Amino acid sequence: MLGAAGALPAQSYVAPGDTFPPPSARAETASRDSVPPLPGKPVFSRGDLVALAAFTAGTAALIPFDERLADWMRSDSRQNVTALRSGATVFRLLADPGAIAIATGMYAAGRLARRPGTADAGLHATEAIVVSGAVTGFLKLATGRARPYLSSPTKPSEFPPGVAEFRPWRGRGGYTSFPSGHTTAAFAAAAALSSELRRSRPGTARWASPVLYGTATLGGLSRMYDNKHWATDVAAGAAIGTLAGWKIVGLQHDRPQSRLDRWLLRTSAAPARGGGMLLLWTVRTP
């Protein structure tokens, strides 16, 4: 059975046979809803601009190595190694759709198990993936960069007749190389989850953060190994995803009254008598 109930000003209604969440859960939701936003804090800080400049400079520094790294990845001595090919497939899938599956799964599990910290981390990781994906999608269209497999098989720096390296504002098909979407998603999830862990479980973050970022890095390298992206595509995707993850977590915790968080984090789940699950949203009324 699936039902819904809302908190009313003077009384609450619960369908017969259903189990309403305990007072502690209702108190937790009310406390979270009553936290006022922090006024006057800027959305972007000087540190954000420094980080953006550093990521941009790092990506630009890789430009002279794009063709060389692509040629190194294409070599038969690496492409014919079964372990490398299998590993590339695993980490590609972990990056996308793995990142969004893990993030949304954490949110759902947190809601069902009444673990607000898990739901919070999953929601913010999902938001980071969506926001960074929008930025990456726009840049793919705007730059229209050709993927490495469109270049000469023997010399990545050269393109066959009729194939341009860039087709600005015509980023479709093979012209959607910059930035890497898989890498963006992987780093957005890694940065958001790592930031959440540093706030709630610093001890766990010490070992979990390297695992998260390391997995995201291997996801980006897998796209180079598969001849789908240049090194600068991967670097740019990592930068966009990381910055989005950091900012989403920071902003959502500094401004706990964000509309999306208010709606999604106030849900509760409880078992219904006779089987099934009761989903509830707490609604504040005047």
- State how beta strands 267-271 and 277-281 pair: antiparallel
pLDDT tens for 79-127 read 999 999 999 999 999 999 999 999 999 999 999 999 999 999 999 999 9
Number of domains in the chain: 1
Question: Which CATH number belongs to the domain containing residue 149 in this structure?
Answer: 1.20.144
Residue 280 domain-assigned (yes or no) = no
Residue 31 domain-assigned (yes or no) = no
Nearest to 128 by CA among 78, 223, 222, 196: 196
pTM here is: 0.78
Residue 24 domain-assigned (yes or no) = no
The pLDDT of residue 41 is above 90: no
Residue 178 domain-assigned (yes or no) = yes
Mean pLDDT of the chain: 83
The residue segments making up the domain with residue 223 are: 55-267
Instruction: Please tell me the distance from the alpha carbon of residue 279 to that of residue 263, in angstroms, as a whole number.
Output: 13
pLDDT tens for 128-186 read 999 999 999 999 999 999 999 999 888 888 898 889 999 999 988 999 999 999 999 99
Residue 10 domain-assigned (yes or no) = no
